[in-house]
């Protein structure tokens, strides 16, 4: 039987997923007890082999396998004691931790294998070798190296004991792990070296401001600087003896004062920073002036406030040129500039931004469109994405955006696999001067250095209700460019009001159509990334860009979302998407990066050689023609720096 024939696939496509994974071996309880016995046996064998290895190889430092799939802590390792912690520590301490911590019920966990967990590790996205990571911190470029710092728990795959992990890269893609840059070792940060930002001063100094969680769980701001500026790796960091440099103002709660931004200089020559907070339910960004980063003046006014948006974490504030393809230094001002204000909303765990105008005299910012203000309008990414931060790359004159992709599996699964979270591929950010209403995000050009063999498909016809396999071999590491044209088969006039809701099985006349990524041949697992044009009540056409994870895995405990939002498709433009597929991560960019969605998926069958790529058209009233170029992507072989 031809398993690729559209009718066969269509039948499978409409087969609803079983409520639970099909019977796979003994029931969960038995599996668990077998697993428990196997754990003990394996631990003993593991310990004996370890002793053997140590004897054979006493003087040799164990080499880290450069493959990104290496160094996976064994499924058989005993769970860390923090597993018994049922209230996540981040929640206790007033910060976002994992947002799906709840199902610590091992009975509901899928019967994962080491091979499945290994496959989930990415090949060209940044992630530590093991343990927990969250927000990107203070990225910067110094003496030929890009530096990424990140919130990192060196002891476990759950949030806690937060230090600053550190890695460097020549090209933002091939990373080398460095030793931890800062650990919680002072009364002013003993409960965590939290998120912070770098400011490069005109005389070449680097100042790093970060939030410390004190012994009393008060959030304060601290100053650190490199011990040796002539060290390109910036290995050693010195905490200023006068820390903390800022404590919560009297009208701010001690747990609502965190994540200082990069500084910028105003027309009066003073530096400014802004820090997220809230007063009652209103999200705000406090404004400070400083001349030396050691003493600060709190301004009476805030940079901006939006009622009902709650605590603002990881505020970011930066200029974008209205015309042009270059980024701007954070201190740039004057005409021809818009300012982006971004807040990570602690209540919803979503990153919202808005475009507006900054007045450096009053140190206030006004949104272009009050109906699309920070927290109530646009988002950087409509998928799994949080706590982002930009920096200005003075070497290539561009603004680079990082974001934290957190997991949608459970804390229990994270502990079993021994790691949690990934960073996005760094994205350049520009103002979209065609629409004038949004930014454009695009993977840094350096990611293209990973491209290998490519395959082209031209004008592939996808009829209503059909699925077309794309013969590219294994489809786990891809850079996909796809353009779609539609041909109306019947009048679509009376139909309106569709969105991403209902996902890819929700058929309307004009959509959905797009790609099925990380799908297996029998389509028991698949993730549709798609467009859905839809008529509106006022007679115009809106297009939604969506990702539907509801069939991405057979594992029941994984959260499965349908993500998406509208995307402007201008006169004369085709529907265009780019997708970076990297094992369990799919970053999708519509219309040159106007709308972006990051998916986090945990397939059990569509893995290794079984992962495939398909086109689909589930519209009822249009033929779709697709033209694609697809590259297989190499791994970035992220490994420790050979210090
Ligand atoms: N993560 C940090 C905080 C920040 C939060 C703590 C956002 O500084 O507010 O790890 O994810």
Q: What is the β-pairing status of strands 175-182 and 639-640?
A: parallel
The pLDDT value recorded for residue 30 is 32
Structure tokens at 284: 């705000």
Per-residue pLDDT band for 49 (boundaries 50, 70, 90) equals very low
Catalytic residue, from 135, 213, 316, 582: name it: 135
Is 2 a residue of the active site? no
Question: At residue 494, does pLDDT exceed 90?
Answer: no
| 501-514 tens-digit pLDDT | 999 999 999 999 99
| 589-614 tens-digit pLDDT | 999 999 999 999 999 999 999 999 99
- Strand pairing partners for 211? 221
Per-residue pLDDT band for 98 (boundaries 50, 70, 90) equals low
Residues sharing a CB contact under 8 Å with residue 492, sequence separation 6 or more, in sequence order: 509, 510, 535, 621, 622
Q: What is the β-pairing status of strands 206-213 and 193-200?
A: antiparallel
Per-residue pLDDT band for 643 (boundaries 50, 70, 90) equals confident
The pLDDT value recorded for residue 85 is 40
Of 56-60, 365-369, 504-508, the least confident: 56-60
Per-residue pLDDT band for 96 (boundaries 50, 70, 90) equals low
- Identify the residue with better confidence: 86 or 191: 191
- Give percent of the chain above pLDDT 90: 80
The pLDDT value recorded for residue 188 is 98
The pLDDT value recorded for residue 109 is 82
| Ligand 1 centroid from CA 105, angstroms | 26
| Ligand 1 centroid from CA 196, angstroms | 9
- Identify the residue with better confidence: 70 or 130: 130
Question: At residue 563, does pLDDT exceed 80?
Answer: yes
Are residues 75 and 117 in contact, defined by beta-carbon separation less than 8 angstroms?
Answer: yes
The pLDDT value recorded for residue 13 is 37
Q: How far apart are the first and last CA of the chain?
A: 56
- Strand pairing partners for 350? 345
SS3 content of the chain, % helix, strand, coil (to 5): 10, 40, 50
| Ligand 1 centroid from CA 180, angstroms | 17
Ligand 1 pocket by C-beta < 6 Å: which residues? Answer: 95-96, 134-135, 151, 162, 194-195, 211, 258-259, 313-314, 344, 387
Are residues 275 and 268 in contact, defined by beta-carbon separation less than 8 angstroms?
Answer: no
What would the DSSP string read from start to end of 46-83? HHHHHHHHHHHTTTSPPPPPSSTT--PPPTTSPPPGGG
Q: How many CB atoms lie within 10 A of CB 23?
A: 8
| 195-208 tens-digit pLDDT | 999 999 999 999 99
Mean pLDDT confidence for 617-642: 97
| 214-237 tens-digit pLDDT | 999 999 999 999 999 999 999 999
Mean pLDDT confidence for 176-189: 98
| Ligand 1 centroid from CA 281, angstroms | 19
Q: Can you list the domains of the chain with their CATH numbers?
A: 122-443 (2.115.10.20), 451-638 (2.60.120.560)
Nearest to 523 by CA among 411, 618, 457: 618
Question: At residue 262, does pLDDT exceed 50?
Answer: yes
Tell me what the pLDDT averaged over the chain comes to: 87
- The 8-class DSSP code of residue 215 comes to T
| 268-318 tens-digit pLDDT | 999 999 999 999 999 999 999 999 999 999 999 999 999 999 999 999 999
Q: How far apart are CA 495 and CA 92, in angstroms?
A: 48
Per-residue pLDDT band for 497 (boundaries 50, 70, 90) equals confident
Atom of ligand 1 nearest to the CA of 135: 11
Question: At residue 416, does pLDDT exceed 60?
Answer: yes
The pLDDT value recorded for residue 107 is 59
Question: At residue 625, does pLDDT exceed 90?
Answer: yes
The pLDDT value recorded for residue 94 is 66
Structure tokens at 367: 């949104």
Atom of ligand 1 nearest to the CA of 194: 8
Mean pLDDT confidence for 51-70: 30
Q: How far apart are CA 25 and CA 32, in angstroms?
A: 12
């Amino acid at each position: 039987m031809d398993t690729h024939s559209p009718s066969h696939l269509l039948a499978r496509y409409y087969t609803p997923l079983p409520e639970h994974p099909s019977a796979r071996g003994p029931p969960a309880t038995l599996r668990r007890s077998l697993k428990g016995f196997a754990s003990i046996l394996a631990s003993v064998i593991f310990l004996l082999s370890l002793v053997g290895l140590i004897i054979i190889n006493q003087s040799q430092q164990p080499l880290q396998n450069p493959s990104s799939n290496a160094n996976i802590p064994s499924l058989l390792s005993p769970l860390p004691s923090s597993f018994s912690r049922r209230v996540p520590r981040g929640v206790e301490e007033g910060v976002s931790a994992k947002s799906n911590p709840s199902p610590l019920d091992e009975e509901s966990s899928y019967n994962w294998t080491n091979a499945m967990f290994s496959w989930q590790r990415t090949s060209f996205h940044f992630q530590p070798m093991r343990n927990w990571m969250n927000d990107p911190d203070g990225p910067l470029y110094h003496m030929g190296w890009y530096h990424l710092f990140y919130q990192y728990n060196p002891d476990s795959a759950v949030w806690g004991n937060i230090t600053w992990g550190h890695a460097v890269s020549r090209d933002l893609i091939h990373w080398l792990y460095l030793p931890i840059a800062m650990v919680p070792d002072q009364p002013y940060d003993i409960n965590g070296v939290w998120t912070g930002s770098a400011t490069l001063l005109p005389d070449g100094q680097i100042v790093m401001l970060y939030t410390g969680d004190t012994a009393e769980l008060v959030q304060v701001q601290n100053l650190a600087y490199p011990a040796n500026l002539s060290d390109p790796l910036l290995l050693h960091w010195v905490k200023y003896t006068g820390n903390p440099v800022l404590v919560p103002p009297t009208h701010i709660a001690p747990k609502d004062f965190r994540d200082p931004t990069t500084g910028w200089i105003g027309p009066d020559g003073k530096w400014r920073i802004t820090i997220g907070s809230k007063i009652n339910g209103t999200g705000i960004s406090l404004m400070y002036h400083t001349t030396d980063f050691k003493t600060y003046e709190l301004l009476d006014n805030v940079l901006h406030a939006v009622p009902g948006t709650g605590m603002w974490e990881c505020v970011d504030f930066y200029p974008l040129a209205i015309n042009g393809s270059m980024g701007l230094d954070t201190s740039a001002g004057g005409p021809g500039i818009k300012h982006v204000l971004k807040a990570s909303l602690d209540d919803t765990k979503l990153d919202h931004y808005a475009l507006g105008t900054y007045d450096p005299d009053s140190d206030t910012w006004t949104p272009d469109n009050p109906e699309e203000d920070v927290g109530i309008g646009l988002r950087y990414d409509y998928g799994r994405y949080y706590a982002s931060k930009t920096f200005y790359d003075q070497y290539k004159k561009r603004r680079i955006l990082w974001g934290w992709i957190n997991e949608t599996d459970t804390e229990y699964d994270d502990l079993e696999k021994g790691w949690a979270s990934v960073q996005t591929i760094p994205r350049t950010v520009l103002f979209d001067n065609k629409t004038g209403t949004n930014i454009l995000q695009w993977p840094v050009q350096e990611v293209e250095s990973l491209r290998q063999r490519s395959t082209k498909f031209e004008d592939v016809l996808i009829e209503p209700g059909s699925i077309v396999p794309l013969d590219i071999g294994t489809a786990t590491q891809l850079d996909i460019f796809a353009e779609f044209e539609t041909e109306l088969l019947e009048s679509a006039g009376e139909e309106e009001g569709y969105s991403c809701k209902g996902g890819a099985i929700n058929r309307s006349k004009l959509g959905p159509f797009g790609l099925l990524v990380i799908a297996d041949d029998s389509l028991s697992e698949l993730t549709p990334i798609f467009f859905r044009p839809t008529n509106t009540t006022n007679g115009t056409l809106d297009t939604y860009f969506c990702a539907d994870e509801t069939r991405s895995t057979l594992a029941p405990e994984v959260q499965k979302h349908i993500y998406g939002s509208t995307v402007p498709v201008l006169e004369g433009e085709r529907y265009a998407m780019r997708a970076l597929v990297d094992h369990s991560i799919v970053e999708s960019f519509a219309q040159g990066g106007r709308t972006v969605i990051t998916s986090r998926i945990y397939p059990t069958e569509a893995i290794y050689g079984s992962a495939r790529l398909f086109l689909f058209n589930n519209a009822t009233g249009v033929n779709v023609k697709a033209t694609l170029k697809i590259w297989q992507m190499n791994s970035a072989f992220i490994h420790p720096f050979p210090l």
